[in-house]
A and B are shown apart, each in its own frame.
Chain A
Amino acid sequence: MKTLKQSWAEPYKIKMVELLKMTTQSHRRKAMSEAGFNTFLLKSEDVYIDLLTDSGTSAMSDHQWAGMMMGDEAYAGSRNFYHLEEVVKNIYGYKYLVPTHQGRGAENILSKILIKKGDIIPGNMYFTTTRLHQELAGGKFEDIIIDEAHDPENEFPFKGNVDLEKLEKLIKKYGAKRIPYVSMATSVNMAGGQPISLKNLKDLRALTKKHGIRVIHDMTRVAENAHFIQQREKGYEHKSIREIVKEINSYTDGATMSAKKDALVNIGGFLALNDWDVFEEARNMVVVYEGLHTYGGLAGRDMEAMAIGILESVNDNHIHARVGQVIYLGEKMIEYGVPIVKPIGGHGIFLDAKKFLPHIPQDQFPAQTLAAEVYLDSGVRTMERGVVSAGRKANGENYYPKLELVRFTIPRRVYTQAHMDVIAESVANVYGRRNKIKGMKMVYEPKYLRFFQARFEKLK
């Protein structure tokens, strides 16, 4: 017998609201063209529902706001730092903490310490800023995610898994000495928020241990990954999110964290390490880039909000409602026949732009085009995750990723079910007139991370 859909009612009520501005179609047309058809360049006041990112856009709880008022803004030795340090140790299980103003601050420091020129960094799919920091430090990223991850329709439950054979081949080819660490992400963002299984992680640990290679964890959405393990992996159905998170981390040697995702804050991140020597080096370097090691470029209040947010993020009810809302939106889109990445991931819905707009070739930016069209239709702002985001190789050639996606990321605790309905209806609307949509050309391209600032024009 088919079980009834489990309800995912929010384990909170609303305490404070932020008013939204409704926009007209002609207003949106003007705004989009001023923004060069790049959703990053839109002003937030021209946006109705903002799904650009789930990063830093969460609604904080009243506890977190109370923590904001308890900020100790002392330059050195702030008590908020010691609170955060204790929470990271207890919840995540890492020994040493270096706070940073965001995740990319931690990536910058880690890459500079561990990567030497000519090194290879294998990882379960690239992420824009992560790969760039690896490259700037002289390393080269190699994708070792399983092939299923590149197929939007494959419903394999753990599409974030590492292909251990691919990793073994790399070790054989380059030697373990040239691989400073494996960059392992939980809830793989570019694959559509897909989880890695604990079994796969254990096997990865065994293999890397044999060769003396570190595993560094991109843990920004570790709790969402833990939820999928709880739902899908045998032996974990009765374990709490908190237990699973700690077990995941126990198979790794350190982590970079953007606390702007799972940890429910608007700013902040950290580098967590188990190795004292690497930690000591990181602590010295953080002063130059971020701030003294007891604040890392964050206000004391933000460290406090982060400590409380981490505790809230590993609550089973919270994660259940969070992922439940994402799945609700995804299933609505499937009902409308819209092609999306399956299975539905933890933090957003990813439209398959290649299938949505099959008549637009990849060098005419189908995902960028689709993101612009959705905004024009309803004022919903999304993000391209395809050829524009992938950027160029060192030799100047474009990367042509297999996945050409538009990401609808759902901020945590911000939007309601009615907002989700509006989003799905708007996408269905655009889908209805998809044959009339034309591609675009790029008219301005920055050197690094071009997706942020590139400008486009519609093809006639």
Chain B
Amino acid sequence: MKTIIEPFRIKSVEPIYFTTKEERKAILEKAFYNPFRIHAKDVLIDLLTDSGTSAMSSNQWAGIMQGDESYAGSSSFFRFEESVKKITGMPLVIPTHQGRAAEKIIFTILGGKGKYFISNTLFDTTRANIEFSGAEGIDLVCEEGKHPTIPALFKGNMDVEALKKTILKLGATNIPMVIMTITNNSGGGQPVSMRNIKEASQVCKENKIPFFIDACRFAENSYFIKLRENGYANKSVLEIANETFSYADGCTMSAKKDAFANIGGFLAMRDLDLAIRCRNLLIITEGFTTYGGLAGRDLEAIAVGLQEILDEHYLQYRIRSIEYLTNKLIAAGVPVMQPAGGHAVYLDAKEFLPDIPVDQYPGQALVGALYEHGGIRGVEIGSLMFGKYDTDGKLIPAQLELVRLAIPRRVYTQSHIDYVSEVIIEVFNKRNEIKGLTIIEETPMLRHFTAKLKPII
């Protein structure tokens, strides 16, 4: 059978509110052409993020009802801890209210001026947390990862040769951590191979640098390894995940992705001294060590979700639905990142809108067009998110100008996805009408969340 069906049925629904194109035009203008400023009720299909937007299962909701809200020593914590240990094999588990809080803690302890954190590609909040501590972030994605439309199997890989050279150049003592992001989100949700994880880990071990995994989408990455890497076809996703984490000294995780939770995250590690320092900081900004700023019920939902994600029927359906949308767009000639990633479709805005220069933010312009035409909300991952200014105030653009359409887990059906592809193709056919944007207000850090823009006429 060719058709892959969802390994679940729907138990509870949430209505979608319809808007007309004229209404959306006015909404977009009022939101200063920034999708983060649009009210959720004004969005038809919300592909802003796959983070925290999953539909929970009936088992997770049952867990929600069983949450133990005790301030200290909650039974929900112990179930959560066991679930994390089963996957990561790491003995020390610290809950946090989200992934960025886990990052904040680890970078506050290990970061600071003169330090460098190396990654395949750091995500926006990760980079912001590193820079906030005074340290610098360095991306060393492999060559294939830099070319959106050329397919390759593991475009999320780290360039291990470049890693060695960078360590030599900067000195191992100035590098408190190497972080492997799986899958590589900013690089298109592309997977990292086991071989690459192993090699990078080896280099870190030789240089006594802690090797951490940003594990938000560990299950999607594990499934890609199963599909694409020699020797893993007959291994279970859990076995592959176990092996992945076995090469690491620790991990950060936003449970809002591959744990089907609406809120939550954690830090896990092997080093007790580091864990004690993390816990001391945790109590100040997050909460006591057995709740970390989460309700007991959310610990339950994560504990259950982490096990559900390992189901291969689910992962097959998940990866194939992303592929389904990607292939529809490729067939219509729309420039998209290839091959399909694990959690999102990435439009290549530079090729989509070749007449709009990078300092007029083609990605953001495309985001606006998709909303206006079809009520679809995506997000720019390009020079608005990652661009910087040089000392003369001139824009230093990002490497890629992408628009990410992240697919929430278990939320939308095939007909929603068909609608999305129709809207994109329609916008592609009318792409000459799209205008560039200019910023009228911005903040120095993480500007894309709140910036105000207007079209250049």
**Residue positions of A touching B, CB distance < 8 A:** 16, 18, 39-47, 50, 52-53, 55-57, 68-69, 71-79, 82, 101-102, 104-105, 108, 129, 132-133, 136, 266-267, 283-284, 287-293, 295, 297-302, 446-449, 452-453
Most A CB within 10 A of own CB, among B43, B48, B283: B283
Q: Is B340 an interface residue (CB 8 A)?
A: no
Q: Is B380 an interface residue (CB 8 A)?
A: no
Interface residues on B, range: 35 or more
* Structural contact, B69 and A57, CB atoms closer than 8 A: yes
Binds A, one of B49-57, B216-224, B304-312, B322-330: B49-57
Q: Which chain A residues border B280 with CB–CB below 8 Å?
A: 446-449, 453
* Structural contact, A448 and B283, CB atoms closer than 8 A: yes
In the complex, which residues 401-440 of chain B have their Cβ closer than 8 Å to any Cβ of chain A? Answer: none
Closest 8 CB pairs of A and B: A74-B40, A44-B70, A43-B73, A267-B295, A299-B263, A77-B39, A101-B97, A266-B295
Chain A: minimal CB distance from B41 (Å): 5
CA–CA, A42 and B70, complex, Å: 10
* Structural contact, B294 and A267, CB atoms closer than 8 A: yes
* Structural contact, B98 and A76, CB atoms closer than 8 A: no
* Structural contact, A75 and B51, CB atoms closer than 8 A: yes
Q: Is B101 an interface residue (CB 8 A)?
A: yes
Contact A75-B41, Cβ < 8 Å, known A55-B71, A136-B284: no
Q: Is B74 an interface residue (CB 8 A)?
A: yes
* Structural contact, B262 and A72, CB atoms closer than 8 A: no
Q: Which chain B residues border A47 with CB–CB below 8 Å?
A: 70, 73
Q: Which chain A residues border B125 with CB–CB below 8 Å?
A: 287-288
Contact with A along B28-54 (1 / 0, CB 8 A): 000000011111111100101101110
Q: Is B318 an interface residue (CB 8 A)?
A: no
Q: Which chain B residues border A55 with CB–CB below 8 Å?
A: 71
Q: Is B226 an interface residue (CB 8 A)?
A: no
In the complex, which residues 1-45 of chain B have their Cβ closer than 8 Å to any Cβ of chain A? Answer: 12, 14, 35-43
* Structural contact, A297 and B53, CB atoms closer than 8 A: no
* Structural contact, B285 and A41, CB atoms closer than 8 A: no
* Structural contact, A284 and B443, CB atoms closer than 8 A: yes
* Structural contact, A75 and B72, CB atoms closer than 8 A: no
Chain A, interface SS category: loop
CA–CA, A293 and B68, complex, Å: 28
Q: Which chain B residues border A447 with CB–CB below 8 Å?
A: 280
CA–CA, A69 and B51, complex, Å: 18
Contact with A along B438-452 (1 / 0, CB 8 A): 000001011001100
* Structural contact, B284 and A77, CB atoms closer than 8 A: no
A68 to B, closest residue via Cβ: B64
* Structural contact, A101 and B73, CB atoms closer than 8 A: no
CA–CA, A302 and B14, complex, Å: 17
* Structural contact, B73 and A267, CB atoms closer than 8 A: no
Which of B14, B35, B40, B284 is close to A133, meaning CB atoms less than 8 Å apart? B284
* Structural contact, A453 and B279, CB atoms closer than 8 A: yes
* Structural contact, A44 and B98, CB atoms closer than 8 A: no
CA–CA, A179 and B284, complex, Å: 23
* Structural contact, B53 and A73, CB atoms closer than 8 A: yes
Contact A56-B262, Cβ < 8 Å, known A72-B40, A449-B283: no
Which of A16, A77, A298 is close to B263, meaning CB atoms less than 8 Å apart? A298
* Structural contact, A299 and B285, CB atoms closer than 8 A: no
Q: Which chain A residues border B46 with CB–CB below 8 Å?
A: 74
Contact A297-B97, Cβ < 8 Å, known A287-B449, A448-B280: yes
* Structural contact, B38 and A76, CB atoms closer than 8 A: yes
Chain B: minimal CB distance from A52 (Å): 5
Q: Is B343 an interface residue (CB 8 A)?
A: no
Q: Is B132 an interface residue (CB 8 A)?
A: yes
Q: Which chain A residues border B72 with CB–CB below 8 Å?
A: 39-42, 44, 52
Q: Is B145 an interface residue (CB 8 A)?
A: no
CA–CA, A6 and B286, complex, Å: 41
Q: Is B296 an interface residue (CB 8 A)?
A: yes
* Structural contact, B293 and A267, CB atoms closer than 8 A: yes
* Structural contact, A79 and B40, CB atoms closer than 8 A: yes
Chain B: minimal CB distance from A308 (Å): 15
In the complex, which residues 88-109 of chain B have their Cβ closer than 8 Å to any Cβ of chain A? Answer: 97-98, 100-101, 104
Q: Which chain A residues border B288 with CB–CB below 8 Å?
A: 40, 452
In the complex, which residues 285-299 of chain B have their Cβ closer than 8 Å to any Cβ of chain A? Answer: 285-289, 291, 293-298
CA–CA, A40 and B73, complex, Å: 7
Q: Which chain A residues border B65 with CB–CB below 8 Å?
A: 16
CA–CA, A44 and B67, complex, Å: 12
* Structural contact, A43 and B78, CB atoms closer than 8 A: yes
CA–CA, A102 and B283, complex, Å: 12
Chain A: minimal CB distance from B301 (Å): 9
Chain A: minimal CB distance from B214 (Å): 17
B31 to A, closest residue via Cβ: A77
Q: Is B400 an interface residue (CB 8 A)?
A: no
* Structural contact, B445 and A288, CB atoms closer than 8 A: yes
* Structural contact, B262 and A301, CB atoms closer than 8 A: yes
Chain A: minimal CB distance from B368 (Å): 15
* Structural contact, B69 and A56, CB atoms closer than 8 A: yes
* Structural contact, B73 and A105, CB atoms closer than 8 A: no
* Structural contact, B36 and A76, CB atoms closer than 8 A: yes
CA–CA, A449 and B288, complex, Å: 10
Q: Which chain B residues border A448 with CB–CB below 8 Å?
A: 280-281, 283-284
Q: Which chain A residues border B128 with CB–CB below 8 Å?
A: 287-288
A70 to B, closest residue via Cβ: B14
* Structural contact, B71 and A299, CB atoms closer than 8 A: no
Q: Is B186 an interface residue (CB 8 A)?
A: no
* Structural contact, A75 and B49, CB atoms closer than 8 A: yes
In the complex, which residues 240-279 of chain B have their Cβ closer than 8 Å to any Cβ of chain A? Answer: 262-263, 276, 279
Contact A41-B52, Cβ < 8 Å, known A291-B98, A302-B263: no
CA–CA, A79 and B48, complex, Å: 16
Q: Is B316 an interface residue (CB 8 A)?
A: no
Q: Is B129 an interface residue (CB 8 A)?
A: yes
CA–CA, A262 and B291, complex, Å: 20
Most B CB within 10 A of own CB, among A42, A43, A129, A300: A43
* Structural contact, A74 and B53, CB atoms closer than 8 A: yes
Contact A75-B53, Cβ < 8 Å, known A133-B284, A446-B280, A448-B284: yes
Q: Which chain B residues border A44 with CB–CB below 8 Å?
A: 68, 70, 72-75
* Structural contact, B48 and A56, CB atoms closer than 8 A: no
* Structural contact, B75 and A45, CB atoms closer than 8 A: yes
B293 to A, closest residue via Cβ: A101
Q: Which chain A residues border B98 with CB–CB below 8 Å?
A: 101, 290-291, 297
CA–CA, A105 and B450, complex, Å: 20
Q: List 25 A-B contacts (CB under 8 A).
A: A18-B68, A39-B72, A40-B71, A41-B73, A44-B68, A44-B70, A45-B75, A56-B69, A56-B295, A72-B41, A73-B262, A74-B43, A75-B36, A78-B40, A104-B286, A266-B297, A267-B294, A284-B443, A284-B450, A287-B449, A291-B97, A299-B52, A302-B295, A446-B276, A449-B283
Chain A: minimal CB distance from B397 (Å): 22
CA–CA, A281 and B293, complex, Å: 23
Contact A82-B39, Cβ < 8 Å, known A73-B53, A75-B53, A291-B100: yes
CA–CA, A56 and B294, complex, Å: 10
Contact A79-B52, Cβ < 8 Å, known A102-B287, A300-B262, A448-B280: no
